[in-house]
A and B are shown apart, each in its own frame.
Chain A
């Protein structure tokens, strides 16, 4: 990683690929896989509309929306941190990234606040297809969130310890975290909000 490369902000030049090809391969594939799951969800939802609509009323929309804001804000901090690294404001970047991690860590906590009362109330994955879908998809997404938190911890370590932060690695982690965000936006729409 040369310094000149670090110095160039992507906004000033077109055709800059953030991260690397491998990560984009993963992201596009992941988006496609989730896309297939969402489409299947729509098909099954249409076939069992009564069950799905009935079950949907038990979801906590408030927590879902709160979690959306949490993820969006965390994503904003990661995006700002990436810019800060490019502008050599390493200390700022470290602070922004720490904030992003704290917010990101709030997501699983809120998820537990959402899940545990639901499970105690008897809305388990075995109840019906809707709840199975709900737990599988939010669970799979939660797995992505946890993985993202691990990656961000390594990003922070890189910022704090390395003499020259590895901008490609920071970008890889950042675009992964934004993808987690995008997936949640779709989840919120199709599971919590639509009718």
Chain B
């Protein structure tokens, strides 16, 4: 049991959960009328990118995978999130 708590994967999970809650606090809907917010969008997307990267690296074990897979999987995160952010900025 203790061994599982000490496992690095558990640490990763704790970080993931914490930043999920952090993202919620940032993007929480308090009033009824939502105003577009550049800061919220940027930080929420950044946190999501970090989380995706962590899951891919540690849970999916891409960290120790062959280089081609690293390129593809990290590339997905590195391309998708900036594109999402840019699209959101440009189309508005």
Which residues of A are at the interface with B, using a C-beta cutoff of 8 A? 10-11, 13-18, 24, 28, 31-32, 35, 38-39, 42-43, 45-47, 49, 53-54, 56-57, 59, 61, 65, 68-69, 72-73, 75-76, 78-80, 83, 174-175, 178-179, 181-182, 185-186, 188-190, 192-195
Contacts and interface: CB of A to CB of B under 8 A. Distances in A.
Contacts of B48: 185-186, 188-190
A13 B64 contact: yes
B65 A16 contact: yes
Given A24-B69, A189-B48, 18 more contacts: A10-B64, A15-B64, A15-B67, A32-B76, A35-B80, A42-B87, A46-B90, A53-B36, A59-B29, A65-B21, A72-B20, A73-B17, A79-B59, A80-B10, A175-B61, A182-B52, A182-B56, A190-B84
A46 B64 CA distance: 39
Nearest to A11: B64
Contacts of B37: 195
Contacts of A17: 65-66, 69
A47 B87 CA distance: 11
Classify chain B's interface size: 35 or more
A73 B55 contact: no
* Secondary structure type dominating chain B contacts: helix
B92 A75 contact: no
Contacts of A45: 88, 91
A59 B32 CA distance: 11
Contacts of A61: 24, 27-29
A131 to B, nearest CB: 15
B2 to A, nearest CB: 13
Contacts of B59: 75-76, 78-79, 174, 178, 181
A78 B60 CA distance: 10
Contact of B34 (A47, A182, A195): A195
